[in-house]
Chains A and B, each alone.
Chain A
Amino acid sequence: MNARSIVLKMQITIFALVVLFTVSGSHQVHAQFLHPKIKSKETTIRRVIVLPAKVNVVRDSMKGPEGMAAESDELSVRVEAMIAEVLSKKKNVTTVPTTGTSAEGGAQQKYDVADFQTKFDELLPKIVKKRSDVKKGRFSMGDEVLNLNLDKGADAVVFIRGEGKKLTSGKTAFRLFVGGMPAYLRLQIGIVDARNGEVLLYTDPILVGDPTTAVDRLRKALEKGFKKLPEVKAQ
């Protein structure tokens, strides 16, 4: 076997891997998992509290990744607002303001929210490892959710995590010639029962494109992400 055929074989393998990644990636776009209680309509999500989103994006340049803390904060706020909008417009789900969990509250309130967010971060890798188990009702954050003392009318709490990459113009050109990951934003959204902490829904929409500017694509990805969530009938 000569060197050229070795290179050709490697190129074919890489191509196959890229195809595989793309196929599995596109599957993830629609991945959403509902707790059996939601499917059987034993539990209905009518009113939710959206906890502050934690979305992190980096700028990928030829000289490596660079932090984008300010843009990440802005994007977190935008994602939070857009999720509330999508839930309201497409599913008739009302967003309850997070009274009692605001930053102006006392230190203990701030800690309670921070600790509950951390608890979700600890559960998240386990959910991601076997997302389909949400359908079996396997994941719960426990009744500590009640310590948040949320609005009594809230049915669920929404957790939002995200990570993304924006490419510099140099890296975009490089990608055209050499290949590599495009700019993207991957969100991980969990909806948790506000009474017992059960994970009612998990979805991880992905959008390809500049995460800081692709507003319409973000909305579309979110609409797809919540497609399976039953719509609340207007009373």
Chain B
Amino acid sequence: MFPHRLTNLIVAALSFCIVFTSVGPVALAQKKTAPVEVTPPPVREEFKFGEVDLEVLQQADLLDLRFERDGLVLADESANAFLRRVGQSLIPRGLELERVSWKFRVLRDPQPNAFALPNGSIYVTTGLMTLIDNESQLAAIIAHELTHVMRRHTYVHNRSNRKKFLTMNVMAAIGAYAPGGVVGAVITVVTTVAPFIMIATIYGYSRDLEREADLKGIDMMISAEYAPEEMVNVMKLLNQDIEGENIRLFYNDHPSLEERIKYLSGYLGGRADRVTHQMELNRERAAYFRNVESVMRHNLQLAINAGRARSAVYLAQRLVDFHDDSENLFWLAESYRTLGPRAPQLTEKELTNSAKKDAAKKSLKRTAEEEERELLATPAGKDNWQKHQEMAEQLYRRALSAENPVPVAHRGLGMLYEKLGRGTEAVAEYEKYLELAPSASDRQRIQRRMEALKEKLK
């Protein structure tokens, strides 16, 4: 009896030790998180590559190729060059990092996001480039991502995760062979709870790295003469949550945007007092919009395709406010046509976390067409639909009466009239479109639509 109990106790003690030796250092490290000193460049000099790191590096290189091959990288040389110029200005002169080759690319994705691969590839999505206001804000995003690469965050996080996964598996093995009795029950409980603690530490560590990237990013911005408070403004822009998609989950790999705004504002303190002429220039909105106008237009098409109609209206309106030429007016018209019966903004109630979770669940259950049909059955939906169709028609007309009118505005009007049941007018607009753009890539689609409409009108 006694030796058996002793074995049980040893197993129990062992499982406790495994949990606490893994969690302990992380918990202590979290407590030790101190303000980061201004010591650019934030390079992890002591880093030595191991076999595991080289594997991660190889995966990153392959990911770069995949993005390129799958048509996800925007082939807009001027936009990529602009991104490269901002990125290079942030990298301290003469800095050479082992196994890092800096690449700055625009990724075709309407969701506002940016990320870095450990090989030095920095990607900023068209959605984020369109959302921000000036070059300094773009610099804030890139500075954050550069810090991830310079501080070797991917490798460090991967190494840490591997230890935690191993611990979880060992715990699972101990749990599977837990003896009976009270000690066995204790072991079962400990080994059941341990994975949750481990996962919490994985996410906790990820949040620490994000925080470090935010703070070191501010230092890099100051060194490159970008107004550091623009980092806070980027977070505020992201916090607008136009589509209601920033959902807080039980585990989060980034600190919440509110938290980031808070600690970044605290960290800025006196750092934001010094304003140079160059900083003022980098904050100029018009100059930034001129540089990324083509990216913004490209993003509008992507946002419309992805059903992000609210974002499309918001972003297209900004573009028209900057430059109301025929093409930009066309994009605003397209955005309103796509918005259809949806309200242009989410209400405060719709922006609560639980409402956003419900909406996300609901969107999985129905297609965009079904959502539209449901909304059209409500008085508010009908009202929105009418307003937005009228708005779209006006804007298409404005686009066609502007200087150098774009032929696609005829296509847009055709689609609008088709939806409104005005078949004859729709056919006329489609014909005009194909006449003005005979080599349009969607010629086949429009011809098919015209044939169907003519058949109906007979």
Contact = CB atoms under 8 A, between A and B. Distances in A.
B71 interface: yes
A14 B132 CA distance: 50
B449 to A, nearest CB: 7
Given A64-B162, A70-B62, A178-B173, A126 B185 contact: no
B188 A7 contact: yes
B59 A69 contact: yes
A118 B305 contact: yes
Interface in B258-304: 302
B62 A7 contact: no
A115 B180 contact: no
Interface in B358-392: 364-367, 369
A62 interface: yes
Interface residues of A, number: 47
Interface stretch (A30-38, A91-99, A136-144, A219-227): A136-144
A119 interface: yes
B184 A113 contact: no
A3 interface: yes
Contact of A64 (B165, B172, B176, B364): B165
Given A114-B72, A126-B364, A108 B441 contact: yes
A103 interface: yes
A129 B365 CA distance: 7
Nearest to A65: B165
A115 B161 contact: no
B63 A69 contact: yes
Interface in A147-171: 147, 149
B75 A63 contact: no
B180 A138 contact: no
Secondary structure at the A interface, as helix, strand, loop or mixed, is helix
B69 interface: yes
Interface residues of B, number: 45
A10 B188 CA distance: 10
B197 interface: no
B181 interface: yes
A62 B185 contact: no
Interface in A50-108: 52, 62-64, 66-67, 69-70, 73, 103, 107-108
B458 interface: no
A187 B39 CA distance: 49
Given A111-B71, A143-B449, A174-B173, A3 B180 contact: yes
Contact of B367 (A4, A138, A179): A138
B442 interface: yes
B184 A125 contact: no
Contact of A3 (B184, B307, B364): B184
Contact of A69 (B62, B178, B302, B366): B62
Interface of A: 2-4, 6-7, 10, 52, 62-64, 66-67, 69-70, 73, 103, 107-108, 110-115, 117-119, 122-123, 125-126, 129-130, 138-140, 143-144, 146-147, 149, 174, 177-180, 195
List 9 tightest A-B contacts by C-beta distance, closest first: A114-B71, A64-B165, A3-B185, A69-B62, A110-B71, A146-B445, A63-B162, A67-B59, A4-B180
